[in-house]
Chain A
Amino acid sequence: MTSIGYSMLRMCLIRLFMSGLAVSWSAAIGCGGRTEKNEPPIVVDFTESKLPAEKSAPPDSLKPLNVAIAGVISPKETFVYYEEMIQYISAKMGRPIKFVQKKTYEEVNVLIGRNEIDFAFVCSGAYAEGRSRHGMELLVVPVIQGEPFYQSYIITHKTSPIHRFEDFKGRSFAFSDPLSNSGYFYAVNRVHGLGSTVDEFFSKTVFTYAHDYSIQMVAKRIVDGACIDGLIYEYLKTFHPDRIEDIRIIGKSEKFGIPPVVVPWAIDVRTKQSIQNVLLEMDRDPDGKEILSKLLIDKFQLGDESNYASVKPIRNR
């Protein structure tokens, strides 16, 4: 091979070597320390673990109002259901509102009795049980489809052979809460009316602590039947029909006073008045009206104690 041939070979080898280096360099650049979406890593001092400074108490005008919501439906649904209304009341009153949810109606009643709550959305049964025992007072009631009443629905699976309440004898049944009128009192009073007791009549009973859970349990055939709040059924029928497509209503109760908004007896009169005013005027405000329509509520009005006379709490449970 000539010296020219040697030079060419050498040049080729040098070029190959250099291009190899270039490829590895560019590849190396591409795999530098991983950063998420090109954001550089954040350096954090893990030894610094100061406790947050104590917050000074806000002035009374900015102190949050506590609103309790009894778990008529599952906690998530309750939050979604009431969130806009609570924000609306907060904006109208110019005060923050703390949303307090409890699993059982009894827990909410206890909070009201201790005056730890400024106002609460409770079930009619919890109100009938707690008005004298826990010192609660009617503030306003919602009006739905033109009236401040509601019903308990007795439901079963759509393919079930059950057609009358009496057919539940020896079958399983779901209640929502021991203080629920539509989800417990009504069905238990029906059983008593048949001259039986819950333990004798049903083969098994469960408390679901939310009407939508009761519906779900019937739809999945975990229990044979349940008694639920008719308002929840109608709400689901309008906004989530798929959730009730597997259940059938076999009976409806007489009309009861609708679940009210209550305040503790010991509440400051001015606070009570302003909450009441905001709720009563809600349907006359476009924003308020829109929120109410999403909840299928026409308006709020002053409550009538006599509407709750037919709500019969179960004593000696």
Chain B
Amino acid sequence: MKRFSLPLFWKFTIALTGIVTIFGTVNVVLIWREVYEPLGQELESRGLFIARNLASQAVAPMLYDDVVTLQKLIDNVREIDSTIEYIFILNGGKEVTAHSFQDAVPPALIAANTVLPGKETNIRSIIPSERRDYVIRDMAVPILDGRIGAVRIGLAEKPIRDKVQETINIFFLMVGAFLTIGIAGAFVFA
């Protein structure tokens, strides 16, 4: 049987492409992890900071049943930070007392996250049914240890996903450039 033999150029090219593809893929995965995770944690820290701050400021208006002040608190926070998808405040009976929605708060959203007794926060990922590629991190923080209500805040993951995608795109460009140089080298040295 005649033995199949590839020219040296193709051997170099296949090996180079294989190695670059494998390690490129591994690196894309690592970049995703190393960039996405810290950015996600930063997003959570920021969201929790805002929610805790709101929960602290909401105590007196909640106890005074001052919904106008509660609404102003929410409006002010949203004005400062446009990346916030939504904020709403629930009273002890899980009824919405103030919110940032155009209309009412979707009932399914109210039920989607809750702070369990004894916990300081709870974070859940929410996906809008009409936009399945859009992820929102919903953070719940109790007001006065949960005895008078809770603050809920939703921050979109889109800015951090865009940032990760941007990094990966730059990386792909670099991989493509190295691959081209490698193949050119194989052509010269084969």
A residues with a Cβ closer than 8 A to B are: 3, 13, 16-17, 20-21, 23-24, 27-28, 30-31, 33-37, 39-52, 74-76, 78-80, 83, 99-103
A76 near B127 (CB under 8 angstroms)? no
Question: Which of B17-25, B70-78, B169-177, B178-186 sits within the interface?
Answer: B17-25
A75 near B108 (CB under 8 angstroms)? no
Check if B26 is an interface residue, CB within 8 A of chain A: yes
B101 near A49 (CB under 8 angstroms)? yes
Question: Can you sample 24 A-B contacts with CB below 8 Å?
Answer: A17-B19, A21-B22, A27-B30, A28-B29, A31-B32, A31-B36, A34-B36, A34-B135, A35-B125, A43-B128, A44-B106, A47-B106, A47-B130, A48-B107, A49-B101, A49-B103, A49-B104, A52-B104, A75-B63, A75-B64, A76-B59, A78-B63, A79-B148, A100-B65
With contacts A27-B29, A80-B144 known, what are 15 further pairs, Cβ within 8 A? A3-B3, A20-B19, A20-B23, A20-B26, A21-B22, A30-B29, A34-B40, A42-B124, A42-B126, A45-B130, A75-B64, A76-B144, A99-B63, A102-B64, A103-B64
Contacting residues of chain B (76-108) with chain A, CB-CB under 8 angstroms:
95, 101, 103-108
Q: What 1/0 flags go to B118-152 for Cβ under 8 Å of A?
A: 00000111111110100101000000100110000
Q: What 1/0 flags go to B1-31 for Cβ under 8 Å of A?
A: 0010000000000010011001101100110
Report the bound CA distance from A132 to B34 in whole Å: 71
Q: Residues of B within 8 Å of A, CB-based: how many?
A: 45
**How many A-B Cβ pairs are below 8 Å?**
123
Report the bound CA distance from A3 to B4 in whole Å: 12
A79 near B29 (CB under 8 angstroms)? no
Report the bound CA distance from A45 to B29 in whole Å: 31
Which 7 pairs of residues, A with B, have the shortest CB-CB distance? A20-B22, A41-B125, A27-B29, A75-B63, A24-B25, A49-B103, A49-B104
Known: A49-B104, A76-B59. A27 touches B129 (CB 8 A): no
B108 near A48 (CB under 8 angstroms)? yes
B36 — which chain A residues lie within 8 A by C-beta? 31, 34
Check if B188 is an interface residue, CB within 8 A of chain A: no
Check if B190 is an interface residue, CB within 8 A of chain A: no
Partner among B109, B124, B129 whose Cβ is within 8 Å of the Cβ of A39? B124
Report the bound CA distance from A42 to B60 in whole Å: 32
B63 near A101 (CB under 8 angstroms)? yes
Known: A47-B130, A49-B101, A49-B105. A17 touches B22 (CB 8 A): yes
Known: A31-B32, A46-B106, A79-B147. A36 touches B63 (CB 8 A): no
Report the bound CA distance from A31 to B132 in whole Å: 18
B126 near A50 (CB under 8 angstroms)? no
Check if B46 is an interface residue, CB within 8 A of chain A: no
A44 near B126 (CB under 8 angstroms)? yes
Check if B68 is an interface residue, CB within 8 A of chain A: no
Q: Nearest-CB distance from B110 to chain A (Å)?
A: 9
B15 near A46 (CB under 8 angstroms)? no
A83 near B126 (CB under 8 angstroms)? no
A46 near B60 (CB under 8 angstroms)? no
Q: Nearest-CB distance from B115 to chain A (Å)?
A: 13
Partner among B33, B59, B64 whose Cβ is within 8 Å of the Cβ of A27? B33
Q: Which residue of A lies closest to B148 (CB)?
A: A79
Q: Which residue of B lies closest to A18 (CB)?
A: B22
Report the bound CA distance from A76 to B59 in whole Å: 7
Q: Which residue of B lies closest to A27 (CB)?
A: B29
B106 near A41 (CB under 8 angstroms)? no
B104 near A51 (CB under 8 angstroms)? yes
Contacting residues of chain B (32-60) with chain A, CB-CB under 8 angstroms:
32-33, 36, 40, 59-60
Known: A20-B26, A49-B104, A100-B65. A44 touches B135 (CB 8 A): no
A52 near B15 (CB under 8 angstroms)? no
B127 — which chain A residues lie within 8 A by C-beta? 41-44
Report the bound CA distance from A295 to B82 in whole Å: 46
A45 near B106 (CB under 8 angstroms)? yes
B63 near A42 (CB under 8 angstroms)? no
Partner among B60, B95, B147 whose Cβ is within 8 Å of the Cβ of A52? B95
A43 near B59 (CB under 8 angstroms)? no
B129 near A45 (CB under 8 angstroms)? yes
Report the bound CA distance from A28 to B103 in whole Å: 40
Pick the most buried of A36, A100, A102: most chain B CB atoms within 10 A of its CB: A36
Known: A52-B95, A76-B59, A79-B144. A44 touches B129 (CB 8 A): yes
